[in-house]
Amino acid sequence: MENASNSKQRWVLFASIFLVGVGFSIIMPVLPYYAESLGASAFQLGLLMTVYAICQFIFAPVWGASSDRIGRKPVLLLGIIGFAFTFILFGFSTQLWMLFLFRIIGGSLSCATMPTAMAYVADTTSPEKRGSAMGMIGAAMGMGMIFGPAIGGLLSGISLAFPFIFAGVLASLNAISVWRLLPESLPVERRVQSKQEIRHASLLEGLKSPFVVLFIVMMLASIGESIHQGTFALFTEIKLNFTPRDIGWSFTAAGVVSAFVQGMLTGRLINRWGEEKTAAAGISLLGLSFILFIFTFNIPSSVVFMGFYAAGVGLIRPSISAAISKRTSGAQGSAMGILQGYDSLGRAIGPALGGFMLDQALNMNYYTAIVISMAALGTLFFGSRRQSARLARQQTPGG
């Protein structure tokens, strides 16, 4: 049952995710230039993002399932502290191999944050309000991303490394606030007791689950999303000579739109259209944004096009998360961890693929993202229809 205490807990959680969003997005306009300063090519920059996501792909299901067994708060703290520790070390790196090392460690630990936060929301909300609450988690991240890129762009004036150190310090303060203010949401009597159940929380299990269509759609959408994130700075640097500060304003615009869409629209659209149709609308906007990015011609145009991109992302992730959470009985951490794993798998593929395609020719990164968005939309449409037909047959007597 929801009560005032649960509402207060969620506001503390939202504040924490807001700070995670600030820390994460501070580096977004700076990372390509920082990696370039240490000799990275476009493809190597993509790999730098890919290894981070591969580690998330491997460990997110483990941390999500672990939160079902030991509680949400310890796992959430582990993710935030891992984020802080590795970002500070990243800022002090002097060679390219060090960037890869700290991204690997960071990806392995920081992926504990989002699936645990989503499971926390599931613990403290009714199914009817879960879509809006998942949207608020996304809005908290989006609000953080309003400030983060602009801060990162400004801090890059001190040095390209300084935004990473600042993000790590901010995450350390965030960990202290979570430790002091956020209570545990999963009582001992509701926790999974068997370690064997944690080993079953794998991505292979996702392929055997009723949610396989949603997992694959999430993966494809994440590939397209991360192709853009991994190549946008280099794309605009090549095409229009954008600086880290210019990139920062574009990502700030994305944060504004994302916070508005997830905080004000996503829950209402889910209640009106349902999770699948809301996700389809998001994928359509995402694909449209990739078409528009090809025609970017100045900073204002990049800001406008980034708004379409952020609106699409803002509809996709909360609607798919809500769909899976509502249809999961117990073990919310495991379900959210598997979803995060497929999300991370897409992020592992996207940056390297996008960097490789950009190395081949300008615009090829976005042509690839457009095709993948179409594949995501087709998978959602045909997969959902097929699942609905299967359920109808099972519910028919003698079917």
Q: How far is CA 137 from the centre of its chain?
A: 11
320 vs 270: CA distance, rounded Å: 10
Tell whether the model's pLDDT for residue 172 goes beyond 50.
yes
pLDDT in tens, 331-379: 666 777 788 778 878 888 888 889 889 989 899 999 999 999 999 999 9
Contact residues for 340 (Cβ-Cβ < 8 A; gap 6+): 56, 60, 61, 64, 111, 114, 115
Q: What is the mean pLDDT of the chain?
A: 83
**Is residue 155 pLDDT above 70, yes or no?**
yes
Among the listed residues 230, 173, 248, the one whose alpha carbon sits nearest the alpha carbon of residue 20: 173
Give the DSSP H or E segment for 311.
helix 299-326
The pLDDT of 65-92, averaged and rounded, is 90
Query: Residues of the chain with pLDDT > 90: what percent?
Result: 27
Tally Cβ neighbours within 10 Å of residue 111: 30
Structure token pair of residue 128: 């009817």
- Averaged pLDDT for residues 148-157: 81
Instruction: Convert the pLDDT of each residue in 252-265 to its tens digit.
Output: 788 788 878 887 88
- What CA–CA distance (Å, rounded) separates 326 from 381? 20
Nearest to 368 by CA among 382, 380, 350, 381: 350
d(CA 241, CA 233): 10
- Determine contact, residues 26/305, Cβ cutoff 8 Å: no
pLDDT at 382 over 90: no
- Distance CA(268)–CA(394), nearest Å, equals 31
Whole-number Å distance between alpha carbons of 120 and 102:
28
pLDDT of residue 107: 85
CB atoms within 10 A of CB 172: 17
Burial of residue 364 (CB within 10 Å: 0-12, 13-18, 19+) is middle
Domains of the chain: 4-183+198-395 (1.20.1250.20)
For residue 7, what are its two tokens?
A: 């509402």
Cα torsion at 226, 229, 234, 239 (round to 10°)?
Answer: 100
Rg (CA), the chain: 20
Q: Which residue, among 198, 183, 196, has the nearest Cα to 68 in the 3D structure?
A: 198
pLDDT higher than 90, residue 88: yes
Per-residue model confidence (pLDDT) at position 66: 86
**pLDDT at residue 105 in the model:** 92
23, 219, 227, 228, 346 from 312: Cα distances, Å: 22, 15, 15, 13, 16
| C-alpha dihedral (43, 88, 77, 324), degrees to nearest 10 | -20
DSSP code of residue 2? -
Contacts of 68 (CB under 8 A, 6+ apart): 119, 186, 191, 192, 197, 198, 331, 332, 333, 334
